[in-house]
Structure 1
Amino acid sequence: MEKQGHSEMEITPSDSRSHVKLLKIHRELLVTHIHNTQCLVDNLLKNDYFSTEDAEIVCACPTQPDKVRKILDLVQSKGEEVSEFFLYILQQLTDAYVDLRPWLSDVGFIPSPLIQSKAIVNTDPVSRYTQKLRHQLGCDSKFMLCYSKKEEMLLEETYTDTIMELISFNNESLGSLGSPACLLDQSAGVLNEQAETVFVFGDAGVGKSMLLQRLQSLWASGRLDAGVKFFFHFRCRMFSCFKESATLCLQDLLFKHCCYPEQDPDEVFAFLLRFPHTALFTFDGLDELHSDFDLSRVPDSCCPWEPAHPLVLLASLLSGKLLKGASKLLTARTGVEVPRQLLRKKVLLRGFSPSHLRTYAHRMFPERAARERLLEQLEANPNLCSLCAVPLFCWIIFRCFQHFHTTLDGSSQLPDCTVTLTDVFLLVTEVHLNRTQPSSLVQRNTRSPEETFQAGRGSLLALGRAAYGAMAKSLFVFSQEQVQACGVQEEDLQLGFLRAVPELGSEGGQQSYEFFHITLQAFFTAFFLVVDDEVGTPELLAFFHEWVPPGEVAAASCYPRFLPFWRVGGSGPVRADPFKKKDHFQFTNLFLCGLLSKAKQKLLQHLVPLASLRRKRKALWAHLFASLRTYLKNLPRVQSGGFNQVQAMPTFLWMLRCIYETQSRKVGQLAAGGICANYLKLTYCNACSADCSALSFVLHHSRKRLALDLDNNNLNDYGVRELQPCFSCLTVVRLSVNQITDSGVKVLCEELTKYKILTYLGLYNNQITDVGAKYVAKILDECRSLTHIKLGKNKITSEGGKCLALAVKHSSSIVDIGMWGNQIGDEGAKAFAEALRNHTSLRNLSLAFNGITSEGGRSLAQALHCNTSLQIFWLTKNELNDDVAESMADMLKVNQTLKHLWLIQNQITARGTAQLAEALRQNTGILEIWSVSSST
């Protein structure tokens, strides 16, 4: 009997008689772990295994365990097929019966073809909620955000990836990301394994919101990580709409302000608490979070059922005190700092590269003729190309072009002169004002810009009044009462500049509005300040006071800027609004300068008295110059290498942008005269190609030679083209880590060889190939004062290496060549060996990480027998072996000039190191040799 009982326990599922017995043997396990009986009853009914009477019997049971026992009794009584189908339901509905997955795997249940042909209906609340979330987010993300519903464009047809770069805590590049889905990669670019938040940052208009919308679309269509069952999207500005007294529990925040489950919300929430790793949260625009109340006395929220202020819930989610294990994506504008302990990754959005721009143009203009006409106009206008590197501005420019193309009989023409950002926003405003005019197939609208703005003055002023009132408080969402109080009428809303927002904090039923983009709100704020004659000088200049004084920059950067409630429970005061971002003020200043420029006087004198325009312009110019002088005077200066060097900050770029918007030669000359230093350092300022327009506008007025350091920014080839006017005065050009390709290097070659005053060229870590290397070689050939070239970490192979080496050989001025991280190989190494032989000026050479093997290494060692100038030689991280070490040892017995030799991370063993050490007995000049992992 004992043996027989044992054999029953080991019956395999493949035995056709085993399914009923399997249910009997594991009855109590099933009763314990089956919590959802409705799914079982629904599927048994659908496949005619249960009758209506069976279902009623189950429903009549008083408790859930009793229901499970009754279902098991009925299923077993109906035989093997029904029992097998019962197991099949448990296997297929993984969310509903998650606890039974290990058991099903252990018993090795494999359904028969007959059972697999049966349809399974998933009525599980978790699955139904996931399905509803996918549907809702799919609808919400289907169209790209536009000015009005008439212009809605399918996201799938128009979205174009931007440059996404993984960044270290020190803002150093860790490589690029290929697609939005890569943001959820659990391996690449991880800075802190314990953290859960991926922080995505970039300038206004660079595409942060669009990136999240793309992620929503991918998840909704099942093209994102299958492990993500819940996707909760929040816009941070929403949290500013809650009253100070508002409280919510986490369940209400998720379900009432995202998507509500159709059935059993408690069961869905319980699943989420149990499996938080299945949830993805996105929080868009943390810099737009506005808090004007004190949360210092509010405790941290660690209990998911305890009501708390929504801002506290937000902080607790980000810190992992709530739903630890969930993935979070957080976006903000550049300059916002998040505590390191929260950050799993940092990702910098850099906008469109030239190739991205072409892709976007193809998507926006499928018709070849229109697309080619657009690209031709952009190619002829580098200034427009620079603006198009920012996706938002690119979209606006393209939409204007599209409007001209469809309304002007195909004779679409973008402005062919210097275009400022103010011009772009005035143009799009004019386009939308004209769309309110009755259309005709036989008669085009012939209103001039002056007539258009004059006709729309009332609407623009009302919108500007609303924008200004909120801008002063850093608010970006308006209630219906606020909009009406500013005089905004229904026809003004139809223009599309303001759009309805579905949620407004705890007042969910109240209609609220926001401007299409924060830059548009800044434009309308500036328009109001210029056009309203009652605005005085204090109000006009108010936002200029938001510029950070130089003396406060260091202190501000040292303070851990996070949410106002981050120090809840700590000693010491909470800093007021520490997450406040100033870009919206800076854009307002920029548009003020553009609107008050003399070039706009013809347009605006029909809207505001000319005397008022002149008064405001005079006050603005005086304040702008005073600010610039004070700023430059207080910047720290360093005397280095014969230069008076000044490290400028991003605020300086904003000042230059404002000066550029004036398009005044006199203003540019005065600004250039205020720059006393001759070495301008603008590293890590997140400068983009459009900033080069402003920088060049000022610097080309300089009467002295300058050094310009723009390393570690985002200039790309458009930025290089925009710098053309000032190359005539630049002796040092540093453009490392700037997404520059061969096209940009060609421009450098054409310009720098005109003036031949260059001494230093830095192009490290760009995207330069052998084609660009040939341009650099030409620069070296023709610029006889060039002493330093940095070309490391590009894409240069042996062909480019040979061209550069030949130019080095013929140069009598070159002192330092950096080629680390290319792939010149042995052929390139041999060419450099030939250049080294008998060279008289070259002192520093790095050929590290270049795929050089023993053949190339021996050639270099032999060449150094005849060299008496080289002092530092890096061959780190190649494929050099002991034979090369022996050749280097022989060289050191002859060469007494070399001071530093780096050979680490090669294939040199203790034998090769010993030979190098032995050579030191006959060398009195060498200071260090790094070989293997020790120095000798």
Structure 2
Amino acid sequence: MEKQGHSEMEMTPSDPFSYIKLLKVNRELLVTHIRNTQCLLDNLLKNDYFSAEDAEIVCACPTQPDKVRKILDLVQSKGEEVSEFFLYVLQQLTDAYVDLRPWLSEIGFCPSHLIQSKAVVNTDPVSRYTQQLRHHLGRESKFMLCYAQKEELLLEEMYTDTVMELVGFSNESLGSLSSLACLLDPTTDVLNEQGETIFIFGDAGVGKSMLLQRLQHLWATGQLHAGVKFFFHFRCRMFSCFKKSDSLYLQDLLFKHYCYPEQDPDQVFAFLLRFPQATLFTFDGLDELHSDFDLSRVPDSCCPWEPAHPLALLASLLSGKLLKGASKLLTARTGIEVPRPLLRKKVLLRGFSPSHLHSFARRMFPERAVQQRLLDKLEANPNLCSLCTVPLFCWIIFRCFQHFHTAFDGSLHLPDCTVTLTDVFLLVLEVHLNRTQPRSLVQHNTRSQAETLRAGWGTLRSLGQVAHWGMEKSLFVFSQEELQASELPEEALQLGFLRAVPELGPGGDQQSHEFFHVTLQAFFTAFFLVADDKVGTRELLRFFQEWTPSGEAAAVSCYPLFRPWQCLQASGLPGEDPFKNNDHFQFTSLFLCGLLSKAKQKLLQRLVPTAALRRKRKALWAHLFASLRSHLKNLPRIQSGNFSQVQAMPTFIWMMRCIYETQSQKVGQLAARGICANYLKLSYCNACSADCSALSFVLHHFRKQLALDLDNNNVNDYGVRELQPCFSRLTVVRLSVNQITDSGVKVLYEELTKYKILTYLGLYNNQITDVGARFIAQILNECKGLTHLKLGKNQITSEGGKCLALAVKNSKSIFEIGMWGNQIGDEGAKAFAEALRNHPSLTNLSLAFNGISTEGGKSLARALQQNASLRIFW
């Protein structure tokens, strides 16, 4: 028996008569902290500890504390087993009795085997809502809704990882992200402990939405262990649908406009307010948030109980003024920046690497023979591979070829020539229009692309009109009324380019529609501008003028009053390039260049009056040349040694893309003539391998030797292959931090040793092994003028180190070698020691972080005694 004077802390469950006493001593603590009596009643009834009459007595009590007191009286009157089970329910239902966790831990409650064998049912509204959210998100994320278009393809079977790169505040690379679980790890790769937002950015189509869908699916199926009880997914473009007069409570935004709790929403919301750290929000596409609502005219929404405009609620959630402590994943296209105080992590999506592309091809084409033919054709066409590094474009290309493979007796229609993005989207039109045609078992559809487009011309033009209207207003979601006002025919909706928006809009039950990707809306906008006879020069160039440099004729502004970064309290600076955050305008301009190119003249002249095509082409070319000339003239320049260096901006990359889309050698020559510098710096421009096709298209016309800096981009092996036409001009090749493997290094060896003009080779922080190191050693042997070689932070071991050291020993020109962060070890150090002895030119050498021990250090020290040239040695 318990001694007199013992405190409640000294009572232990090992005492067989302590449970009733324990409940008596802690009665007021339990009355204060038990807010959910229904769970207790449900479990006591289920295990026959309470009768129906007992439950009625409890329910008849007027207040919640009275109900708790009555339950305690009844439980204690029924004996020790019932009292123990009562405590067991409190312990098991952690969400319902969260305030009692510390107390249960302090008393060290450990139920007996008999009590542990009893079933505990969780009828707590919070737990039920978590399960409801899992079911909701599981259903919404099960299929690949983004691109599949009515095809029920399981996300689990089709999802393929992309390159995820952790970056710092200034977008400097901090290494790759190994898994989605690491993304939500609160302890690793944190930039700012006080920040709550994980910011994921990348170009259109690199897989931001798919990554969020994959996260939703993992959480819904219990595979994401991040301590998250509530998961709310919002697409920022939906906030553009609200009217200026709309006002919402936070509870309504979360529940009525997302997923409404089946029971006791007030209790669920109260829990959410108390424990915001248990909530994860994902906001997809901040750059797609456009509205004429002036956020500066309304007060900050800091109180969860007061109504506010939905945009004000969004701004307060993102800034942490509402539900501070909740985790947030925010995506946006490249160019949008989030204020540093809000950032916790920053992740750049790079799209598919070659290995990811092969993995995706195997998923799309499970038949071994078809799969191998596809991969062989891709390897033979680096231009197509470069386009396929963008997951969206890869998906479109593969689905189109899959259609033709099915429709034409199993043959795989992959072009062997240069493919532009305009070609890909014209192919999309052809495939979708062909799908609407009646099928025959014996006769295949033999219509040409021109005939197919002509047959669907009216429908395509109607879609273009809708796309153009939305693009003018930077709107990506169309209400039922807006579609009806545009007189869009029913067959246009059947084609699959527009899809019903999965979330309910503010209008209630009316369905809204959107193009399945912003790039498709941009294509249809360009299509309308080319196809419509009434479109004049000013309207044709409206989106193109978004990149007009300051000082030229003022462009027509397509910016609405509300800008996405305003809700993060980081409005753009005056003079900031207005084009960089609007790649839906950029894509429209790019597709205009493609559709009005000479190569598409034959296709379109049977659909559009020749005079109209000629007039539009002339106006576009004149504006393109003027913009390019002005842009190149205004690029910042510095003199560095023998080089006149020009610092190009991302806009320059977009101009190169547009020039490439024209497929006009004359345009390429004129562009090359305008580059009045011999050092082109394109680092941190987010250039991908497809951009290397565009650069080569222009730079192979450059008549002088050139230095090309593409550090910190996403060139990868396909991009290196696309640069082949340029290598006869390049004396400096900088490709650090670009996902390059031994395959890309082999191409560099084959090309650079043809011309032997290389002086600088930068390949820091790639994926080069000893195989690639042998190719680089050959470059060093054959390019007698090579002075700088940067190979740090690769995967080179002692074997590769010995090959490189021997090449260094034989070189009479090498000035600097960077080998930091490899694994050459003592064997590699000894080989470099041999190279150092009496070397005539080597001045800078870095061998830090290479696993070199005292033994290797001694070899290097002895060699240094016989070296008079080295000045800097790490």
**TM band (smaller chain):** over 0.9
Cα distance change, pair 602–215 in 1 and its aligned pair in 2 (3 A): same
1:854-873 Cα offsets, whole Å, 9 max, x none, are 22222222222332322222
Give the structure 1 partner of residue 566 of structure 2: 564
Cα distance change, pair 628–458 in 1 and its aligned pair in 2 (3 A): same
Give the structure 2 partner of residue 83 of structure 1: 83
Give the structure 1 partner of residue 604 of structure 2: 604
Q: Which amino acid in structure 1 is aligned with residue 566 of structure 2?
A: P
1:249-280 Cα offsets, whole Å, 9 max, x none, are 21111111111111111110110111110000
Q: Which amino acid in structure 2 is aligned with residue 69 of structure 1?
A: R
Aligned-pair CA distance for 1:20? 2.2
* Whole-Å separation in 2 of the counterparts to 1:601 and 1:699: 26
Give the structure 2 partner of residue 744 of structure 1: 744
Moved more, 54-63 or 772-781: 54-63
Q: Report matched runs for 1:671-820 at 5 Å.
A: 671-820=671-820
* Structure 2 residues without counterparts, runs of 5 or longer: 553-561
Q: Which amino acid in structure 1 is aligned with residue 67 of structure 2?
A: K
Give the structure 2 partner of residue 233 of structure 1: 233
* Whole-Å separation in 2 of the counterparts to 1:768 and 1:594: 37
Give the structure 2 partner of residue 201 of structure 1: 201
Q: Is the 8 A contact 1:337 1:562 kept in 2?
A: no
1:609-655 Cα offsets, whole Å, 9 max, x none, are 12211211111111111111110011121121211111110111101
* Whole-Å separation in 1 of the counterparts to 2:434 and 2:87: 66
Cα distance change, pair 351–566 in 1 and its aligned pair in 2 (3 A): closer
| 2:243 paired with 1:243 | yes
Q: Is the 8 A contact 2:336 2:565 kept in 1?
A: no
Give the structure 1 partner of residue 450 of structure 2: 450
1:319-378 Cα offsets, whole Å, 9 max, x none, are 111111110111001110111111011110011111111111122222211211111110
Q: Report matched runs for 1:288-437 at 5 Å.
A: 288-437=288-437
SS at match of 2:530: helix
Give the structure 2 partner of residue 664 of structure 1: 664
* Whole-Å separation in 2 of the counterparts to 1:607 and 1:37: 72
Cα distance change, pair 592–297 in 1 and its aligned pair in 2 (3 A): same
Give the structure 1 partner of residue 852 of structure 2: 852
Cα distance change, pair 457–647 in 1 and its aligned pair in 2 (3 A): same
Normalising to structure 2: TM-score of the pair?
Answer: 0.96
Aligned-pair CA distance for 1:147? 5.0
Cα distance change, pair 843–612 in 1 and its aligned pair in 2 (3 A): same
Moved more, 73-82 or 26-35: 73-82
Aligned-pair CA distance for 1:407? 1.8
* Whole-Å separation in 2 of the counterparts to 1:648 and 1:551: 18
Moved more, 151-160 or 107-116: 107-116
1:385-439 Cα offsets, whole Å, 9 max, x none, are 1011111111111111211222222111211110001111111111011000112
Q: Is the 8 A contact 2:579 2:651 kept in 1?
A: no
Give the structure 2 partner of residue 70 of structure 1: 70
Moved more, 592-601 or 497-506: 497-506
* Whole-Å separation in 1 of the counterparts to 2:573 and 2:634: 29
Give the structure 2 partner of residue 280 of structure 1: 280
Give the structure 2 partner of residue 529 of structure 1: 529
SS at match of 1:291: coil
Q: Is the 8 A contact 1:192 1:345 kept in 2?
A: yes
Q: Is the 8 A contact 1:240 1:505 kept in 2?
A: no
* Whole-Å separation in 2 of the counterparts to 1:551 and 1:615: 26
Normalising to structure 1: TM-score of the pair?
Answer: 0.90
Cα distance change, pair 539–504 in 1 and its aligned pair in 2 (3 A): farther
* Whole-Å separation in 1 of the counterparts to 2:168 and 2:628: 32
Aligned-pair CA distance for 1:520? 0.4
Give the structure 2 partner of residue 868 of structure 1: 868
| 2:483 paired with 1:483 | yes
Give the structure 1 partner of residue 127 of structure 2: 127
1:570-629 Cα offsets, whole Å, 9 max, x none, are 9x9999999982100000010011111111122212211122112111111111111111
Where relative contact order (Cα < 8 A, 6+ residues apart) is larger, the structure is 2
Q: Is the 8 A contact 2:379 2:385 kept in 1?
A: yes
Cα distance change, pair 566–489 in 1 and its aligned pair in 2 (3 A): same
Cα distance change, pair 551–848 in 1 and its aligned pair in 2 (3 A): farther
| 2:194 paired with 1:158 | no
Aligned-pair CA distance for 1:110? 1.7
SS at match of 1:231: strand
* Whole-Å separation in 2 of the counterparts to 1:857 and 1:275: 55
Aligned-pair CA distance for 1:769? 0.9
Q: Is the 8 A contact 1:287 1:579 kept in 2?
A: no
1:653-675 Cα offsets, whole Å, 9 max, x none, are 10110010111112211211111
Give the structure 1 partner of residue 558 of structure 2: none
Q: Is the 8 A contact 1:44 1:50 kept in 2?
A: yes
Cα distance change, pair 767–252 in 1 and its aligned pair in 2 (3 A): same
Cα distance change, pair 561–643 in 1 and its aligned pair in 2 (3 A): farther
* Whole-Å separation in 1 of the counterparts to 2:416 and 2:406: 19
Aligned-pair CA distance for 1:146? 4.7
Aligned-pair CA distance for 1:25? 2.2
Aligned-pair CA distance for 1:295? 2.2
Q: Is the 8 A contact 2:339 2:569 kept in 1?
A: no
Aligned-pair CA distance for 1:192? 0.8
Q: Is the 8 A contact 2:770 2:796 kept in 1?
A: yes
Aligned-pair CA distance for 1:113? 2.0
Q: Is the 8 A contact 2:9 2:106 kept in 1?
A: no
SS at match of 2:680: strand
Give the structure 1 partner of residue 555 of structure 2: none
1:466-507 Cα offsets, whole Å, 9 max, x none, are 000110111111111211222212211011101111446532
* Whole-Å separation in 2 of the counterparts to 1:843 and 1:232: 57
Q: Is the 8 A contact 2:301 2:321 kept in 1?
A: yes
Give the structure 2 partner of residue 182 of structure 1: 182
| 2:137 paired with 1:137 | yes
Q: Which amino acid in structure 2 is aligned with residue 642 of structure 1?
A: N
Number of matched residues? 865
* Whole-Å separation in 2 of the counterparts to 1:489 and 1:36: 55
Q: Which amino acid in structure 2 is aligned with residue 111 of structure 1?
A: P
Aligned-pair CA distance for 1:566? 5.0
Aligned-pair CA distance for 1:7? 9.0
What's the RMSD between the two structures over aligned residues?
2.2
Give the structure 1 partner of residue 465 of structure 2: 465
* Whole-Å separation in 1 of the counterparts to 2:418 and 2:578: 38
Q: Is the 8 A contact 2:8 2:25 kept in 1?
A: no
* Whole-Å separation in 1 of the counterparts to 2:708 and 2:8: 84
1:185-237 Cα offsets, whole Å, 9 max, x none, are 11222111111111110000000000100110011011112510000111011
Cα distance change, pair 825–617 in 1 and its aligned pair in 2 (3 A): same
Give the structure 2 partner of residue 583 of structure 1: 583
Aligned-pair CA distance for 1:701? 1.3
* Whole-Å separation in 2 of the counterparts to 1:439 and 1:496: 18
* Whole-Å separation in 1 of the counterparts to 2:810 and 2:231: 62
Aligned-pair CA distance for 1:542? 0.9
* Whole-Å separation in 1 of the counterparts to 2:150 and 2:327: 36
1:42-71 Cα offsets, whole Å, 9 max, x none, are 111222222221111111111111111111
Q: Is the 8 A contact 1:561 1:579 kept in 2?
A: no
| 2:28 paired with 1:31 | no
* Whole-Å separation in 1 of the counterparts to 2:118 and 2:854: 67
Give the structure 2 partner of residue 921 of structure 1: none
Cα distance change, pair 185–566 in 1 and its aligned pair in 2 (3 A): closer
Aligned-pair CA distance for 1:9? 7.8
Give the structure 2 partner of residue 627 of structure 1: 627
Q: Is the 8 A contact 2:200 2:332 kept in 1?
A: yes
SS at match of 1:329: strand
SS at match of 2:727: helix
SS at match of 1:296: helix
Give the structure 2 partner of residue 261 of structure 1: 261
SS at match of 1:630: helix
Q: Is the 8 A contact 1:564 1:574 kept in 2?
A: no
* Whole-Å separation in 1 of the counterparts to 2:822 and 2:400: 43
Give the structure 2 partner of residue 52 of structure 1: 52
Q: Is the 8 A contact 1:291 1:564 kept in 2?
A: no
